[in-house]
Structure 1
Amino acid sequence: MKQPELSRRISLLQATAINMTDMVGIGPFIVLSLVATTMHGPGFLYAWVAGAVLSFIDAMVWSELGATFPMAGGSYNFLKEGFGPRTGKLMSFLFVWQTMIQAPLVIASAAIGFAHYAGYILPLGFWGTKAVSGGMVLLIIFMLYRKIETIGRISVLLWMGVLVTMAWIIGGGIAHGRFMEPIRHVNDGLQLNYAFATALGMASVKTVYSYLGYYNVCHLGGEITRPEKNIPRSMLISIAGISVLYLCMNISVASVLPQDQIEQSSFVVSEFIEALMGSTAAKIGTVLILWVAFASVFSATLGYSRIPYAAAKDGAFFSVFARLHPTKNFPHVSLLVLGGVAFVFSLLFKIKEVIDAILAMRIMIQFIAQAVGLMLLSRRNGRTFFKWHMPLYPIPVILAILIWACIFISTGPHMMLAGLTVTIAGVIVYVIKSRLPVRHL
């Protein structure tokens, strides 16, 4: 009997939709106030520009690797190939190891943010908030329990809701008539000194979190049509589109609400709509924001579920994760396990606790090590080996490594220690696993 296999059914449009819905989750609506508070002035727009610049630079690394190794699992394959037979096994295992923790954190953070913003419409209380966040994770798992071509169509529908929501927010600011005011005053009180650099670094931790997801298509590499072209294109189109949307959204909000209200608000975009159109419109806008948050969790969970599957299929992780659904051909065990852990996390944590933790855990292995692996591959195989080529190599790779290192430091000593602890624990588990007979995988 032929074993079920992943099929290439996701088009460029669907891949871009999956990426953009992952990127525009609840993140920008939650962290807008946090970024404004950190920068404390109209210069907070620079933090959003910094996040976009880093995303573009890092996407070049992902594009070269994703186009060359278009397989399920993304970074798992990139690290294994980049670091070679021996070290590559360790690095790829560490990536899967931290994915089993940080992927549920990402899913849970969006679910928690969803429940938080729902409080604008109906105050939920402590237990009500937990019920909504946990219920959202369960609903996502139910919706993803189907064939990939169906999921591709659902992603496009969710993406349309994202675009409508962002267009309404931006259009409201433009119609207000003061859209250019935040840009004219962006440098008011700005001093290029150590304090500004520190604040920009701390704020960029939050904006980068909002841009994360531009690489989601790489995790679905085994299901993308014409991957050598569509993977890079979908990432670069996604980042360009989202950068414009984020900047315009922040400018719109800043053109209507005073700086103090932006910094102190828990529902800043809902209050922005209320100031322009009244409470009924604000509630409708909040529903659309919740649509965006739901779409993001849907997309992120889809991509992450392919990582343990790819590692298990390769014999580097527990074999149960390699199972595909017998009729729908998707990694159902991986989806259920990650979703189950995310459900627990959604009941335990708060949104602000997980943002820094997500970045601190993944920067060293997924971003910095992956960029190093690309340079090692280039040295061994030459530049002609890659199916897509970044301009000005190796400058973007070096810049990506340096910027990610700065972001890692900006997460703070506690989160840096947490990230290192998870990595060290992964090394210990890897050593133990490597000494066990193969049948124990």
Structure 2
Amino acid sequence: MSQMCGIGPFVTIPLMVAAFGGPQAVIGWIAGAVLALVDGLVWAELGAALPGAGGSYVYLREAFQYRTGRLMPFLFVWTAMLFIPLIMSTGVQGLVQYLAYLWPDLTTGQGDAVGVAVLALVVLLLWRKVENVGRITVAMWAVMILSVGLVILACCTDFHPARAFGWPAHAVELTHGQFWTGFAAGLTIGIYDYLGYNTTAYLGAEVKDPGRVLPRSILLSIVAIMGIYLLMQVGVLGVVPWQDMLDPGNVASKSVASAVLERTWGKGAADVVTGLILITAFASVYTGLLGGSRVPQDAARDGMFFRSFGRLHPKHGFPVLGLVAMGVITAGGFLFARHIGSSAAHPPLTVLITLLTSVMVIVQALAQIAALTVLRRRQPGLARPYRMWLYPLPSLLAAVGWLVIYGYGDRANPGVHPIEWSLAWVGLGCAAYLVWSKKEAAWPFGPREIREEYLTAQQAARQPARPGGAGA
């Protein structure tokens, strides 16, 4: 839940209102939760059956090794090298937006410099042996909960139902194409805000009783965060007129939580909560780059990615290349979105969210849904402590949801070309794989290596011990 909530709701409420054109934006939060739930069931079954470190990387390796060797896990790491930094870029952009509330004269150039400086500080803090990560995560969770709680409480003290529930005429026209374009944009923002429901699956090797814990953690976190988001969205709409969130010159369009606190409890309280949100944004970038830099490292050590990413700092033991690469890509994504998204039609956050979700769809989302079916057919004897309810319906609904996000990407964001960018990145990844596989003599330049790691381990565990021990 800490990974899911972060800076997201503080910066995306105005974007959701803009996508739907009014307070009917609550539809986006509900739709995002439904997609997260059905996709979460895919994660739940795979995570319970294959509880290894790496999440999608493990599932894709196990499912697609029969036909394409190491290609799919390689492509997952390749795409993660882009979408993880882009997620962190949204945190930096959110920090700069809220900083502008405390620093009203902040120019675009100064905002660029602040964002890059924040990233440099994060990399510097991570350039050492990382200790007490658990304490940092707990502190981040506490600050985030305090910030969200104060915003919701402030909304309750000055809530106007007519503002929150006064939907414009023809707000929901299912036969109008514009509604579905807005719905797709809102669904994209919604699923971005729920990202993180799969965090425990990435830590499967370190979780006790994963067959029970992983499914519950995924589903319960989605339901709980949905409740928090709906309270915030409805509460904010009941305090701040939704038209203010569409006005680029209004503080509510970029720092909506600050606007809520200023309207309800005054400027002093707004400044304090804005400071808490800045801490939340910084902590989310810190923990995101900390975990993200380990993704290529784990794959490299397992022989599934470039070996240079597996090298550790000789003194402090952190992955040098992974940290530097993701830090640079995060800075590049932040600056790119601020300048391509300089118009009201393409706010930087919208650009970043659209690009990162488009990159995720092909390899992680759709390929992982396919992996669930492939593994059921290829490894029917694999122990599955949790099996998807109503299979295959949830996985089909998840696929439809992700395809809606992907298919409407260009239409909802004219001029940004998220589909073309995502295809280009995956195509570049395929070329990189050919270079890497040639060097490693892996498929297609070598034999496919079939390694049914979890199935073999489970079969070995079921074998009765030979009487008399090894010396019999």
TM-score range relative to shorter protein = 0.7 to 0.9
Q: Deviations over 1:157-203 (max 9, x none)?
A: 1101111111111111122243x546644585333323322321122
Give matches, 1:88-107, under 5 Å: 88-107=69-88
In structure 2, how many angstroms separate the alpha carbons of the residues matched to 1:396 and 1:290?
Answer: 37
Match 1:248 to one of 214, 219, 231: 231
Q: Which has the higher helix share?
A: 1
Q: Deviations over 1:249-276 (max 9, x none)?
A: 1111100111211222222221111111
Match 2:370 to one of 372, 381, 387: 372
Tell me how far 1:345 sits from its aligned partner: 3.4
The structure with more radius of gyration: 2
Match 2:422 to one of 411, 419, 428: 419
What is the count of residue pairs matched by the alignment? 419
Give matches, 1:391-406, under 5 Å: 391-406=389-404
So what's the TM-score if we normalise by structure 2? Answer: 0.82
- Once the two structures are overlaid, the 10-residue window that deviates more, 217-226 or 52-61, is 217-226
Give matches, 1:197-208, under 5 Å: 197-208=180-191
- Once the two structures are overlaid, the 10-residue window that deviates more, 145-154 or 92-101, is 145-154
Matched, 1:429 2:432: yes
Match 2:192 to one of 209, 221, 224: 209
The one-letter amino acid paired with 2:240 is: L
Tell me how far 1:69 sits from its aligned partner: 2.4
In structure 2, how many angstroms separate the alpha carbons of the residues matched to 1:108 and 1:68?
Answer: 33
Alignment partner, residue 129 of structure 1: 111
Alignment partner, residue 150 of structure 1: 132
The one-letter amino acid paired with 2:48 is: A
> Closer, same or farther in 2 for the Cα pair 1:105/1:248, shift >3 Å?
same
- Once the two structures are overlaid, the 10-residue window that deviates more, 231-240 or 186-195, is 186-195
C-alpha contact (below 8 Å) 2:164/2:237 kept by paired residues: no
Tell me how far 1:144 sits from its aligned partner: 4.3
3-state SS of the aligned residue for 1:354?
Answer: helix
> Closer, same or farther in 2 for the Cα pair 1:181/1:298, shift >3 Å?
farther
In structure 2, how many angstroms separate the alpha carbons of the residues matched to 1:60 and 1:148?
Answer: 33
Q: Deviations over 1:249-304 (max 9, x none)?
A: 11111001112112222222211111111111111121122122223223322332
Alignment partner, residue 17 of structure 1: none
Matched, 1:172 2:154: yes
In structure 1, how many angstroms separate the alpha carbons of the residues matched to 2:123 and 2:307?
Answer: 21
Tell me how far 1:64 sits from its aligned partner: 1.7
Q: Deviations over 1:93-112 (max 9, x none)?
A: 11111122222222122112
User: Which consecutive unaligned segments of at least 5 residues does structure 2 have?
Assistant: 248-252, 339-347, 412-416, 443-472
> Closer, same or farther in 2 for the Cα pair 1:400/1:45, shift >3 Å?
same
Matched, 1:293 2:257: no
Alignment partner, residue 160 of structure 1: 142
> Closer, same or farther in 2 for the Cα pair 1:113/1:62, shift >3 Å?
same
Matched, 1:22 2:25: no
- Once the two structures are overlaid, the 10-residue window that deviates more, 363-372 or 406-415, is 406-415
The one-letter amino acid paired with 1:266 is: K
How well do the aligned residues superpose, as a CA RMSD in angstroms?
A: 2.4
Q: Deviations over 1:210-237 (max 9, x none)?
A: 2222223333334444433333333223
In structure 2, how many angstroms separate the alpha carbons of the residues matched to 1:327 and 1:70?
Answer: 31
Alignment partner, residue 138 of structure 1: 120
The one-letter amino acid paired with 1:241 is: A
> Closer, same or farther in 2 for the Cα pair 1:320/1:375, shift >3 Å?
same
C-alpha contact (below 8 Å) 1:219/1:307 kept by paired residues: no
Alignment partner, residue 6 of structure 1: none
Matched, 1:263 2:246: yes
In structure 1, how many angstroms separate the alpha carbons of the residues matched to 2:69 and 2:393?
Answer: 24
Alignment partner, residue 323 of structure 2: 335
In structure 1, how many angstroms separate the alpha carbons of the residues matched to 2:183 and 2:337?
Answer: 26
User: Which consecutive unaligned segments of at least 5 residues does structure 1 have?
Assistant: 1-19
In structure 2, how many angstroms separate the alpha carbons of the residues matched to 1:425 and 1:241?
Answer: 39
Q: Deviations over 1:80-100 (max 9, x none)?
A: 112234425111111111122
Match 2:351 to one of 343, 350, 353: 353
C-alpha contact (below 8 Å) 2:41/2:388 kept by paired residues: yes
3-state SS of the aligned residue for 1:316?
Answer: coil
Match 1:79 to one of 42, 55, 60: 60
Tell me how far 1:421 sits from its aligned partner: 1.5
> Closer, same or farther in 2 for the Cα pair 1:24/1:124, shift >3 Å?
same
Give matches, 1:14-53, under 5 Å: 20-53=1-34
